[in-house]
Structure 1
Amino acid sequence: MNLHQLRFVREAVRQNFNLTEAAKALFTSQPGVSKAIIELEEELGVDIFTRHGKRIRGLTEPGRSVLKSVELIMQEIEGLKQIGREFAAQDSGSLTIATTHTQARYALPPVVQAFMQKYPKVRLSLLQGNPKQVAEMVQRDQADLAIATESIAGIDGLITMPCYQWEHVVVVPLDHPLLKLKVISLEEIANYPLITYDSAFAGRNKIDHAFALRQIKPDILLEAIDADVIKTYVELGMGVGIIAGMAFDAERDKNLRSIPVGNLFGMNISRIALKQGAYLRSYVYTFIELLAPTLNRKLIDQVLQGTKDNYEL
């Protein structure tokens, strides 16, 4: 059994059982097509086609089952060819990034813009989820890489590298009393209803941990996965917001003010996750370098190969 025989069967059906037309479509001879089909039938021990004399007229019952298998096999062959084309072509292909809303909305736009200018032929896809979900997307080969907070570190089958540090900020309306304080404390923040991230997002565990250490139970009025949602409700005067610093833009958020609180909640590190042993096309290295200039191809390869596991910012 060989691929030529399978192609001949499929093309014979596509050409309405006309072997002459099938041979023309495949740039071969009609006797060669006929012989290959007969040899396949003999090997399988069933007739694939019904015949009238030397002409084929249709598919037999087993022939219909054979055709289904042939179609599946040929689809897989095309898939393999596509994989080969993508990996051979270092300036074109696809790149799927799994990330959180905060990263996709605030950190990635300039990186994506610069990347697409360098590699206009690459099809870029962004998948969003919480840190656990985006890590699983890489594990399941649904994404090439994941970007999220440090919570994605230490997951089986993945290697992670730090990209950049960031801190939380408190966001308040323009006339809020917290703006009058020279030094802000957890106790003072807890005097107001809080609007912040869902527990799975953007370093929320550090926020909870900081309050717990001081035995403070804050009034979490609203949780969201989107900093824009948090800021909207802060603007309405419903409470004090705690968001990632990257999500605050003084020009865009003119009705709000931000107060850095990294000293209260600690610094956070966004990390990039890759599947252990992954083969990276050249443009994937470029994307990583654009996202984290401290990373380079040599260092990335060392981490992937397990020869360097202590790289930190």
Structure 2
Amino acid sequence: MNLHQLRFIREAVRHNFSLTEAAKALFTSQPGVSKAIIELEEELGFQVFKRHGKRIKGLTPPGELVYQACERVLAEMENIRRVGEEFASRDSGRLTVAVTHTQARYVLPQAVAVFRKRFPKVKLVLLQGTPEQLADWVRKDQADLAVATEALANEPDLITFPCYDWGHVAIASRKGSELTPFLSGSGTNSPGRKIALTDLADMNLITYEKHFAGRKKIDAAFERAGLTVDVVLEAIDADVIKTYVGLGLGVGIIAEVAFDADKDSELVAVPVDHLFGRNTSRIALRQGVFMRTLMYEFIEIFAPMLTPKMIDRVLGGGAAYDI
């Protein structure tokens, strides 16, 4: 038994039991992967994979246990590599942070600037994707940590830490704005009336694609109210939403952190927290990960309440942190 065989088993499972794709991921040949797995099964005395002809279709019951053991062994091997990196170059190296577009564009810049000033020799990589992709990158050690709102808290093999909460705003073009009745001092000295779901349901809406920035809460609120809405455009990028709102194509719903009254002077905004609730952004780490100093430092810069002591307590099985 060797580490190559364990990697072949793991990648076969990760690539939906395609040995061809597993071989590509490991930069080797499909026959070589197949031969190594058969040799391991012969050594173990049972089949790890279910087969139909020459194709593998899934894991056998003992194969499930072997796969879980492979994940643990290879995770510890990754930790050993991280230990080497930590003590070979404490103030240099590479840190990979997986983020959604909203986090990268509006939330992380200040933290990234502070981190770069403190560690100028460190190569900082921001991987952008869906929350599901972020979780997968952390799980596979392709990212050191992830920052997102949706999905991360529901991943059983990740440890997540809430770091801040945020809400949505509705935005519209300042010219002929559909939101005028809801603006403070809109033509009178009145504060403007509170916007309702029924008001938004009568408008053409532009908002996030369903995997991003609290979209699920938006859809759920309309569904609970029995309202059908016309979402005329979806995007993963708040800047794109603001562009099309500015062209008068509809009313946008975006994260409040993405609206700047000075920079977005051609738009108006009203809060809609009372309609869609607040959202919590989280930092995610893989269970059992070896925490490098650079990881502690980045997290504490971004979310000062998450101290190394607190992180270690939660990773060690202590009570979860909440805000």
Q: Shared fold (TM-score greater than 0.5)?
A: yes
The verdict on how the C-alpha distance between 1:132 and 1:297 changes in structure 2, with shifts beyond 3 A counting, is same
* Cross-structure match for 1:215: 226
**Structure 1 residue 294: deviation in Å?**
1.6
* SS of aligned partner of 1:153: helix
- Spell out, residue by residue over 1:91-119, the C-alpha distance to the aligned partner (whole angstroms, 9 max, x if none): 11110001100101110111100111111
AA aligned to 1:86 is E
| Equivalence for 1:108 | 108
CA distance in 2, matches of 1:233, 1:177: 14
Specify the alignment match of 1:177 in structure 2. 178
Shift of 1:157: 1.5
Give the 5 Å matches for 1:98-177: 98-174=98-174, 175-177=176-178
Matched, 1:242 2:286: no
- C-alpha separation between the residues in 2 aligned to 1:299 and 1:150? 23
Structure 1 residue 227 corresponds to structure 2 residue 226: no
Distance 1:177 1:224 in 2: 21
1:257 maps to 2:268: yes
Counterpart of 1:109, as a letter, is P
CA gap 1:231/1:80 in 2 versus in 1, 3 angstroms: closer
Give the conservation status (yes or no) of the 8 Å contact 2:150–2:212. Answer: no
- CA drift of 1:154 comes to 2.5
1:193-224 CA-to-partner distances (Å, cap 9, x unmatched) read 00000001111000000001110111010000
User: What is aligned with 1:300?
Assistant: 311
How does 1:86-101 map onto structure 2 within 5 Å?
86-88=85-87, 89-101=89-101
Q: What is the CA distance between 1:80 and its match in structure 2?
A: 11
- SS in structure 2 of the partner of residue 127 of structure 1: strand
Supply the distance in 1 between the matched residues of 2:80 and 2:319 (Cα, whole angstroms): 34
For residues 168-189 of structure 1, give each alpha carbon's deviation from its aligned partner in whole angstroms, at most 9, with x where no partner exists: 1101111413232221101101
Q: CA deviation at 1:86?
A: 2.2
Separation in 2 of the partners of 1:205 and 1:265? 10
| Higher CA-based Rg | 1
Q: How many Å separate the matches in 2 of 1:190 and 1:216?
A: 7
Q: Which amino acid aligns with 2:151?
A: S
Across the aligned residues of Structure 1 and Structure 2, the Cα RMSD in angstroms comes to 1.7
Q: What is the Cα deviation at residue 148 of structure 1? A: 0.4
Contact persistence 1:86–1:94 (CA under 8 A): no
Q: Which residue is equivalent to 1:46?
A: none
Whether the 8 Å contact between 1:86 and 1:92 is mirrored in structure 2 is no
Structure 2: any 5+ residue segments left out of the alignment?
1-77, 183-192
Matched, 1:277 2:288: yes
**1:83–1:298 CA distance, 2 compared to 1 (3 A):** closer
CA distance in 2 between partners of 1:223 and 1:80 (Å): 40
Count of paired positions: 234
CA distance in 2, matches of 1:80, 1:287: 19
Deviation string 1:121-167 (CA, Å, 9 cap, x unpaired) is 11100101010011100001100001100421121321000010000
